[in-house]
Amino acid sequence: MGFYCYILLCVDNTFYTGWTTDPLRRERQHNQGKGAHYTRTRRPVKLVYTESLPDRSAAMRRERAIKALSRGQKASLIEAWRNTCPVFPLPPGG
Protein backbone atom coordinates (compact mmCIF):
# COMPACT_ATOMS: atom_id res chain seq x y z
CA MET A 1 0.00 0.00 0.00
CA GLY A 2 1.28 3.44 -0.91
CA PHE A 3 0.85 6.68 0.97
CA TYR A 4 0.31 10.01 -0.71
CA CYS A 5 0.11 13.65 0.18
CA TYR A 6 -2.26 15.54 -2.13
CA ILE A 7 -3.54 19.01 -2.90
CA LEU A 8 -7.03 19.78 -4.16
CA LEU A 9 -8.07 22.96 -5.92
CA CYS A 10 -11.49 23.98 -4.62
CA VAL A 11 -14.19 25.76 -6.62
CA ASP A 12 -13.47 28.99 -4.70
CA ASN A 13 -9.83 28.80 -5.90
CA THR A 14 -8.45 27.78 -2.48
CA PHE A 15 -6.22 24.78 -1.84
CA TYR A 16 -6.90 21.85 0.47
CA THR A 17 -4.06 19.53 1.50
CA GLY A 18 -4.41 16.03 2.90
CA TRP A 19 -2.95 12.53 2.85
CA THR A 20 -4.39 9.23 1.69
CA THR A 21 -3.60 5.77 0.36
CA ASP A 22 -5.60 6.39 -2.83
CA PRO A 23 -5.69 9.94 -4.25
CA LEU A 24 -8.35 9.27 -6.90
CA ARG A 25 -10.72 7.66 -4.39
CA ARG A 26 -10.13 10.51 -1.96
CA GLU A 27 -10.90 13.11 -4.63
CA ARG A 28 -14.20 11.30 -5.33
CA GLN A 29 -15.02 11.26 -1.61
CA HIS A 30 -14.40 15.00 -1.34
CA ASN A 31 -16.62 15.62 -4.38
CA GLN A 32 -19.38 13.48 -2.87
CA GLY A 33 -19.31 15.58 0.29
CA LYS A 34 -17.74 12.74 2.29
CA GLY A 35 -14.34 14.39 2.68
CA ALA A 36 -13.20 17.09 5.04
CA HIS A 37 -15.64 19.70 6.29
CA TYR A 38 -13.59 22.38 4.49
CA THR A 39 -14.24 20.88 1.05
CA ARG A 40 -17.95 20.12 1.56
CA THR A 41 -18.91 23.71 0.82
CA ARG A 42 -16.21 24.20 -1.82
CA ARG A 43 -17.16 21.55 -4.38
CA PRO A 44 -16.31 20.50 -6.95
CA VAL A 45 -12.66 19.98 -6.15
CA LYS A 46 -9.90 18.95 -8.54
CA LEU A 47 -6.82 16.93 -7.68
CA VAL A 48 -3.84 19.08 -8.71
CA TYR A 49 -0.88 17.51 -6.87
CA THR A 50 0.20 14.17 -5.44
CA GLU A 51 3.40 13.05 -3.80
CA SER A 52 4.19 9.44 -3.00
CA LEU A 53 5.72 8.85 0.44
CA PRO A 54 7.15 5.74 2.09
CA ASP A 55 4.77 5.48 5.05
CA ARG A 56 1.85 7.08 6.85
CA SER A 57 3.92 9.16 9.24
CA ALA A 58 5.95 10.61 6.36
CA ALA A 59 2.72 11.47 4.52
CA MET A 60 1.35 13.19 7.62
CA ARG A 61 4.57 15.15 8.13
CA ARG A 62 4.57 16.23 4.50
CA GLU A 63 0.91 17.29 4.79
CA ARG A 64 1.80 19.55 7.73
CA ALA A 65 4.78 20.99 5.85
CA ILE A 66 2.67 21.79 2.77
CA LYS A 67 -0.09 23.32 4.88
CA ALA A 68 2.52 25.69 6.34
CA LEU A 69 3.43 26.99 2.86
CA SER A 70 2.00 30.23 1.51
CA ARG A 71 -0.50 30.07 -1.34
CA GLY A 72 2.23 31.20 -3.76
CA GLN A 73 4.58 28.48 -2.56
CA LYS A 74 1.84 25.87 -2.98
CA ALA A 75 1.14 27.14 -6.51
CA SER A 76 4.87 26.87 -7.34
CA LEU A 77 4.98 23.33 -5.93
CA ILE A 78 1.98 22.34 -8.06
CA GLU A 79 3.47 23.93 -11.19
CA ALA A 80 6.82 22.19 -10.69
CA TRP A 81 5.04 18.86 -10.21
CA ARG A 82 2.96 19.36 -13.36
CA ASN A 83 6.13 20.05 -15.35
CA THR A 84 7.81 16.86 -14.16
CA CYS A 85 4.78 14.57 -13.94
CA PRO A 86 2.17 15.51 -16.57
CA VAL A 87 0.37 12.17 -16.25
CA PHE A 88 -1.20 11.38 -12.88
CA PRO A 89 0.62 8.42 -11.29
CA LEU A 90 -2.02 5.86 -10.42
CA PRO A 91 -1.62 3.87 -7.22
CA PRO A 92 -0.89 0.15 -7.71
CA GLY A 93 -4.03 -1.59 -8.94
CA GLY A 94 -5.66 1.79 -9.70
Residue 56's domain comprises 3-84
Buried b (16+ CB within 10 A) or exposed e, 21-39: ebbbebbeebbeeebeeeb
> Domains in the chain: how many in total?
1
Q: Is residue 90 part of a domain?
A: no
Domain contains 48: yes
pLDDT tens per residue, range 1-59: 799 999 999 999 999 999 999 999 999 999 999 989 999 999 999 999 999 999 999 99
According to DSSP, the residues that pair with 6 across neighbouring strands are 18, 50
pLDDT at residue 75 greater than cutoff 80 = yes
Query: Which CATH number do you get for residue 43?
Result: 3.40.1440.10
Question: How far, in Å, are 1, 7, 24 from residue 45 at the CA level?
Answer: 24, 10, 12
